[in-house]
Structure 1
Amino acid sequence: MSHGDMSRAKLARICGADRSTIAQLLGEGDARLPNAHLAAECASALSVSVDWLLGLSERSETAADLLDSSFRVTEAERSFADVRIDEWHLEAAGYKIRHVPATLPDILKTDAVFEFEYAAFRERTPDQAISAMRSRADWLRRPGSDYEICCSRELVESLARGEGYWRGLPKAAREEQIIHMARCCRDLYPSLRLYLYDTKVVFSAPVTIFGPLLAVVYIGAHYMVFRESRQIRALTDHFDQLVRDSDTDARSVASVMEAMLAFS
């Protein structure tokens, strides 16, 4: 039961205190401070924090409730067609989205790349992933869209060469992916701005920042979801530093990626 629907008499009975003591505790003005035990008993009965009860905080939530609302670990589906991502995009409609992908940005992937990546998945089909990706890609063409992406330059270069993560993807599919990504960056600028950063200079885990509302760090089997403003600000500052450290700006990135075709 919360503090909004409990009488002082009932609170006094729960805490084993006199009604006059409770009245002094909850009254306006220079009320007498309770002892620590009574303060804790009252805060627990009212489901509020002791600090709020004593006028030391503007937030009434307990520490556990604050932690739960500001930070949460959420299980991630082992597929690119994760409905949580769509829900977060809907929640952040109208806000700038900042994104560091684990590989390439889903919204810029070709069908062939999705089919290549889905070879290891059994729960979902490539068609489901492609459908989800196209739905997200629609965000880029909506009025007022603002999508900023920082991508590893080394990963794009390895795509061009067919090395590492991309080993086994045919040359034609790799070239198609680079051409498609370059075309999107050129045609959708400035709504879409993509930067290439050097992982030898700066590192980033996969992260998406949905305006001022939430930030999501992908750690593999789970998402770490942050909703407290200082946490979101810290991750936003991290992303902005990636942009500053990038050796390729959003205006020239299409030409830079097209030049990588010579590596293939």
Structure 2
Amino acid sequence: MSKRLISQIFQQRVLALIQASSRSRSAFAEEIGIDRSALSQLLAEDAVRLPRADTLVRIARRYNVSVDWLLGLAERADATGGRTTEVADNPDYYNIPLLTRWHTEAEGMKIRYVPYRLPDILRMSEIVAWELGPDHDDPEAIETIVGNLNYNRGPGTDMEICLATQTVTSLIDGVFPWDGLPVSVRRAQIEHMAERVEALYPSLRIFLFDGRRHHTVPYTIFGTQRAAIYAGSQYIVFNDQATILRMQRHFDSLIRQSVTQPHDVSRWLRQAATAIGNR
């Protein structure tokens, strides 16, 4: 394979990584330890140069790909030795060290999130206590859990959430799984969500879609690092770039089909809060 062809393949694959991570070229250059001008030279259409070995290694480690793939010597992008899918046990929903680690490893990349029920970052302590049940009545422990749910608010976090409107309306109407939850708590939770959404916008953007027309399982895509499907007591984790990109396309399709855009979500939630107890 000629050096020119290797250079072209390298350019294509680096550009794919930049696009998938939603990083700017300047940010990408900074995190792999080169300046923007050096990256521009590497990606120039007429370039026949390749990066230094240490730069290749930094790209591979940061984006969970192999050096061989970057240089066109392998078709599989993953650097996992062929292990592209794994199952990670998570017996306790609120035991979150695993999620914290995954978010930390994807720091600075876009997080795409389809939650199970309400998004973690928007839950009040009363909701956590309700879900834990009467056997967990330690207020201090519950507040600690709520604080830990901010695992996904690291520096430079850029998060998009696709949330079915039915997830919210079930809380408004007090139907499963919220049947029996007091009206005052349900209203406070919706108002809390509206405040948080407004305060964290635009680094946190929520898209509401019609769950009757568009079906999905809960999952999170951690930049270009991995994608994890939530399966109750386990996560099904995908490490290969092809699957991650396919799941990104699925997420993007939910965004395209959304019925409420991020800048309108807080207003929609506040209007919804007024309906609680009146429906």
TM-score (norm 1): 0.70
> Which letter maps to 2:122?
L
Describe the SS at the equivalent of 2:177. helix
Whole-Å separation in 1 of the counterparts to 2:110 and 2:101? 15
Whole-Å separation in 1 of the counterparts to 2:245 and 2:215? 18
Shift of the 100–120 alpha-carbon distance from structure 1 to 2, 3 Å rule, reads farther
Q: Give how far 1:227 is off.
A: 0.7
Whole-Å separation in 2 of the counterparts to 1:120 and 1:226? 36
> Which letter maps to 1:98?
R
Structure 1 segments unaligned to the other structure (5+ residues): 1-51
For residue 106 of structure 1, what is the aligned residue in structure 2?
A: 120
Describe the SS at the equivalent of 2:86. strand
Describe the SS at the equivalent of 1:78. coil
Whole-Å separation in 1 of the counterparts to 2:266 and 2:184? 18
For residue 10 of structure 1, what is the aligned residue in structure 2?
A: none
Describe the SS at the equivalent of 2:91. coil
8 A contact 2:107–2:156 mirrored in 1: no
Whole-Å separation in 2 of the counterparts to 1:136 and 1:178? 17
Tell whether 2:153 aligns with 1:137.
no
Out of 97-106 and 79-88, give the one that drifted further: 79-88
Whole-Å separation in 2 of the counterparts to 1:228 and 1:173? 42
Shift of the 126–92 alpha-carbon distance from structure 1 to 2, 3 Å rule, reads farther
Q: Give how far 1:65 is off.
A: 4.1
Describe the SS at the equivalent of 2:208. strand
Q: Deviations over 1:200-237 (max 9, x none)?
A: 11011010011011110011121101110011001111
Of 67, 70, 88 in structure 2, the residue corresponding to residue 74 of structure 1 is 88
Structure 2 segments unaligned to the other structure (5+ residues): 1-67
Shift of the 224–191 alpha-carbon distance from structure 1 to 2, 3 Å rule, reads same
Tell whether 2:199 aligns with 1:199.
no
Of 87, 112, 116 in structure 1, the residue corresponding to residue 101 of structure 2 is 87
Identical-pair percentage: 33
Of 221, 224, 233 in structure 1, the residue corresponding to residue 245 of structure 2 is 233
For residue 17 of structure 2, what is the aligned residue in structure 1?
A: none
Describe the SS at the equivalent of 1:204. coil
| Count of aligned positions | 204
8 A contact 1:118–1:126 mirrored in 2: no
Whole-Å separation in 1 of the counterparts to 2:135 and 2:243? 33
Tell whether 2:199 aligns with 1:187.
yes
Shift of the 115–90 alpha-carbon distance from structure 1 to 2, 3 Å rule, reads same
If you compute each CA radius of gyration, which structure gives the higher value, 1 or 2? 1
For residue 258 of structure 1, what is the aligned residue in structure 2?
A: 270
Q: Give how far 1:136 is off.
A: 4.2
TM-score (norm 2): 0.67
Q: Deviations over 1:93-127 (max 9, x none)?
A: 111111111100111100000000000777x9775
> Which letter maps to 2:148?
S
Whole-Å separation in 2 of the counterparts to 1:241 and 1:134? 32
> Which letter maps to 2:241?
S
RMSD: 2.7
> Which letter maps to 1:146?
D
Whole-Å separation in 2 of the counterparts to 1:121 and 1:243? 39
Q: Deviations over 1:23-71 (max 9, x none)?
A: xxxxxxxxxxxxxxxxxxxxxxxxxxxxx9xxx96379xxx940x2x11
Whole-Å separation in 2 of the counterparts to 1:257 and 1:65? 46
8 A contact 1:79–1:121 mirrored in 2: no
